Amino acid sequence: MMKFTEGKAVITVPEFEKITSKSEVFYNPDMSYDRELSLIMFKASHKRKVCDAFSGSGIRAILYALEGAHVTANDRNPCALTSIKENAELNNVSLTVCNEDANLLLRRETFEVIDVDPFGSPVYYLDSVVNGLDYDSYLFVTATDVKALCGFAGKAALRKYGIKTVKTPFSKELGARVLVTAILREAAKYGIGFEVLLSYWKMHYIRVFMHTQHSKKAAFTCMNMVNPVYVCACGWFSSRTAEFCPYCGRETQCIASVYLGPLKSDRFLHDIAGHDLIDRVKRELDTPFYHDTHYLASFHGFQPPRVKDLIERLVMKGYQASPTVFCSTGVKSDAPFDEVVKTCFDLQTF
């Protein structure tokens, strides 16, 4: 057995050399970043009844339980079940342990917080997940099928998420918005909307944290924020219909359609302090999509400006601008595209 310590939890899992979906019991130490962040979001929710629907070793369930949650830890894999029980004992926490398909569990019982961390896409579980959410509850979802989500596998995205995607320079944020759109669609038909609290991308996954709004009006408002986006190879993008790019005249491509509303809640994040990603998200401009300075530089033929310099210059010109957690070379701004490109060129002379 191998032993790992994560936060207040200690777990053991059967020996592995390389973690894969075929491992006897799945435990990925690299996901500790997400588990720590999820714990912070859980604590800020002030909820208690949690479902760790894809529990693996039980690490998430144990971390939540150590903070006082009443956790149902579920995994379809019988070996995982043994691990969850042993690890719960090791950490002296009591869990409700289930060994069934998450779709069945979430049809049977409702929860105040559901943590969805499957292999690949969560899309196969979303209808049940929505049914498993209590009134005024929280949903934390991971997706690792980033090719489909981020516009690199158009056919898979259309098949799984019902969204026409294209390759864009803002692929990571597109991925988060495609995932949110899929969740909103599943919930809207039941008269449930969501406030997106936090979303981010890291390594091989996208993660979104959402809070339910149980009303037909909220569901409608969310779906009303699902709209087409027109993009051009030059880096221009807009939610206004444009067959041809107003910047360079090329034919545009259309993403049809994605959620273009907020990807964070300043209200919810306000009281959470001391976490680097959350601090950065709080400072981020919440407009759809960013300009990737490296993409613009290579397309338009200039040296990439420093993100900090571009932001400073745009702000000096009276626009809003900020970095983004989705891309270290990206800048979000309310400046028109031609102004962003012009400012990049201006910065060449300094």
Ligand X SMILES: C[S@@+](CC[C@H](N)C(=O)[O-])C[C@H]1O[C@@H](n2cnc3c(N)ncnc32)[C@H](O)[C@@H]1O
Provide the minimum distance between the beta carbon of 31 and ligand X in the complex, in angstroms, as a whole number: 5
Q: Is 53 left (phi over 0), alpha (psi -120 to 50) or beta?
A: alpha
Single residue of 12, 77, 227, 239 touching ligand X by CB under 6 A: 77
31 vs 231, beta carbon nearer ligand X? 31
Provide the minimum distance between the beta carbon of 32 and ligand X in the complex, in angstroms, as a whole number: 9
By CB under 6 A, what part of segment 219-278 binds ligand X? Answer: none
CA dist 342 and 317 (Å) reads 12
Backbone angles phi, psi at 221, to 5 degrees: -60, -40
Q: Which of 104, 96, 100 is nearest to 75 (CA)?
A: 100
**Terminal-residue alpha carbon distance, the chain:** 58
Provide the minimum distance between the beta carbon of 78 and ligand X in the complex, in angstroms, as a whole number: 9
Provide the minimum distance between the beta carbon of 182 and ligand X in the complex, in angstroms, as a whole number: 17
Provide the minimum distance between the beta carbon of 159 and ligand X in the complex, in angstroms, as a whole number: 19
140 vs 289, beta carbon nearer ligand X? 140
91 vs 343, beta carbon nearer ligand X? 91
56 binds ligand X per the rule CB under 6 A: yes
By CB under 6 A, what part of segment 18-47 binds ligand X? Answer: 26-28, 31, 35
Provide the minimum distance between the beta carbon of 269 and ligand X in the complex, in angstroms, as a whole number: 22
Tokens of 28: 């990925």
Q: Which of 52, 54, 53, 57 is nearest to 24 (CA)?
A: 57
| Cβ contact 140:38 at 8 Å | yes
59 binds ligand X per the rule CB under 6 A: yes
Q: Which stretch binds ligand X (CB under 6 A): 56-64, 148-156, 202-210, 218-226?
A: 56-64
**Residues contacting residue 124 through CB under 8 Å, at least 6 positions apart:** 103, 118
64 binds ligand X per the rule CB under 6 A: no
Task: State the DSSP code for 244.
Answer: B
118 binds ligand X per the rule CB under 6 A: yes
CA dist 264 and 194 (Å) reads 11
- The full length of the chain comes to 350
| Cβ contact 93:50 at 8 Å | no
Single residue of 39, 41, 44, 60 touching ligand X by CB under 6 A: 60
147 vs 167, beta carbon nearer ligand X? 147
Single residue of 93, 97, 102, 148 touching ligand X by CB under 6 A: 102
**Residues contacting residue 108 through CB under 8 Å, at least 6 positions apart:** none
Count Cβ atoms below 10 Å from residue 110 Cβ, excluding itself. 15
Side chain identity, residue 36: E
Name the one residue in this structure whose structure tokens are 């943590």.
115
Provide the minimum distance between the beta carbon of 54 and ligand X in the complex, in angstroms, as a whole number: 3
Provide the minimum distance between the beta carbon of 107 and ligand X in the complex, in angstroms, as a whole number: 12
Single residue of 45, 57, 171, 293 touching ligand X by CB under 6 A: 57
CA dist 221 and 209 (Å) reads 18
Provide the minimum distance between the beta carbon of 210 and ligand X in the complex, in angstroms, as a whole number: 18
3-state secondary structure of 200: strand
The residue count for binding ligand X (CB under 6 A) is: 21
Site track for ligand X across 119-158, x = CB under 6 A: x---------------------------------------
Binding residues for ligand X, rule: CB under 6 A, are 26-28, 31, 35, 54-57, 59-60, 74-77, 80, 101-102, 117-119
